[in-house]
Amino acid sequence: MSALQPTLDKPESLTGLSDDEFQALLLEGVSRTFALTIPQLPENLYRPVANAYLLCRIVDTVEDEVSLSPDQKKIFCERFIETVKTGHGASDFAADLAPLLSEQTIPAEHTLIGLTPRVIQITHSFDPQQIEALATCVETMAQGMPIFQAQNLSNGLPTMADMDKYCYYVAGCVGEMLAKLFCHYSPEIATHRERLLELSVSFGQGLQMTNILKDIWDDAGRDVCWLPQDIFDETGFDLSTLTPETDDENFRKGLEHLISIAHGHLSNALAYTQLIPSHETGIRNFCLWALGMAVLTLRKIKQNLDFKQSNQVKITRNSVKATILTTRLTGRSNLLLSLLFNLTSRGLESPDWTYHPQSLKAKSAL
């Protein structure tokens, strides 16, 4: 008989896999998107970036687990931060958390939690600077996300600044970590370190805002809203009245404004990518595929502001293939990338509108 075929539903079958094979199989189970983009990276970047995504997914699993109380989530997050930093306690963490996971957590995440010890073992095979980058990201995410999970999210977030903070905790800090890993990988890239770190937060926010806008109605069905009220104050819509049945022009106008803000962040994502040397095609592809899919998603939302389900604005497989092909053809040229971005993102801006963060304070003072 041949050896047991490695599958996520048989965790014991993964023991004979190399670290790269092990992480690739886990990535395929928890995120098809990242299973597609991360392998584009050079080998010396693939391992830490794949590992980083798995670490972040463990934090997400804890935060999303419906069976855990806020106090339990906090305790598990604190334990996981310490485990990532030190490399110790992974087996106890997994043994304590795994039995508490509900059926609402997908099977691949059940497997990921059970295999936390090997994920952490891989983490601590990296250079100290890489471990520090991963640990800082995990700590920021694990400490920041509970702040928002503890809030009543049925009425949206109070201000755009709150949305900025949320996006930082779930995506911006990941962008910072990636920038640090890229700089560690290449002294040439490191010459732009400060600018890359600045733009990386915006890059992450652009991607996260796109996901939030795409998933508005899925979230509304769970009585959750991540949209900022002050943006909708300007258009005359109260987010506390938002339901899956909402059909309101003032709400759609607010969406247009958020699309414009997200477009600005994706413009920064392009600037970030253009700072990566043109010969680093793997890193550029990794960034451009995410950027391209986000732009196409925003376009679909802008063209279908009355959508009611996320699958109505989800880009097709053909669009994904076209993004991959186009970026491979143009990815080395900053000029062609700018032309392509301007063409595909045309119409996403709100040309006669500018966000005024003091608008909410001004109204409350009246």
CATH of the domain at 185: 1.10.600.10
At 171, is the pLDDT very low, low, confident or very high (cuts 50, 70, 90)?
very high
Q: Which of residues 93, 127, 161 is at a domain's end?
A: 127
Q: In terms of domains, do 170 and 232 share one?
A: yes
Q: How many helices (H) and strands (E) does the chain have?
A: 19, 0
In a domain, 13, yes or no: no
Q: Are residues 54 and 88 in the same domain?
A: yes
Q: Which pLDDT score, from 0 to 100, does residue 150 have?
A: 78
Q: Are residues 203 and 338 in the same domain?
A: yes
212 and 257 part of one domain: yes
Domain that holds residue 23: 18-127
- 320 and 293 Cβ atoms separated by less than 8 Å: yes
Instruction: Clarify whether residues 120 and 161 are in a common domain.
Output: no
Residues 316 and 204 in one domain: yes
How many structural domains are present in the chain?
2
pLDDT at 201 over 90: yes
| Among 127, 143, 174, residue at a domain's last position | 127
CA distances (Å), origin 303, targets 104, 157, 352, 353: 33, 25, 18, 19
Q: What is the pLDDT of residue 222?
A: 83
Same structural domain, 225 and 339? yes
Instruction: Mark whether 41 and 183 lie in a shared domain.
Output: no
For 18, counting Cβ atoms within 10 Å of its Cβ (0-12 exposed, 13-18 middle, 19+ buried), the class is: exposed
Check pLDDT > 80 for residue 27. Answer: yes
d(CA 115, CA 333): 41
**336 and 237 both lie in a single domain:** yes
For residues 87 and 205, state if they share a domain: no
According to DSSP, the residues that pair with 10 across neighbouring strands are: 7
Residues 86 and 203 placed together within one structural domain of the fold: no
Q: What average pLDDT does range 49-55 have in this prediction?
A: 97
pLDDT at 319 over 60: yes
Show the tokens assigned to 95. 């043994």
Mean of per-residue pLDDT scores for the chain: 92
Q: What is the pLDDT of residue 4?
A: 64
Query: Encoding tokens for residue 247?
Result: 């059909």
Q: What is the mean pLDDT of residues 318-340?
A: 93
From residue 205, give the alpha-carbon distance in Å to each of 117, 268, 271, 290, 352: 31, 10, 14, 12, 23
In 3-state terms, what secondary structure has residue 32? helix
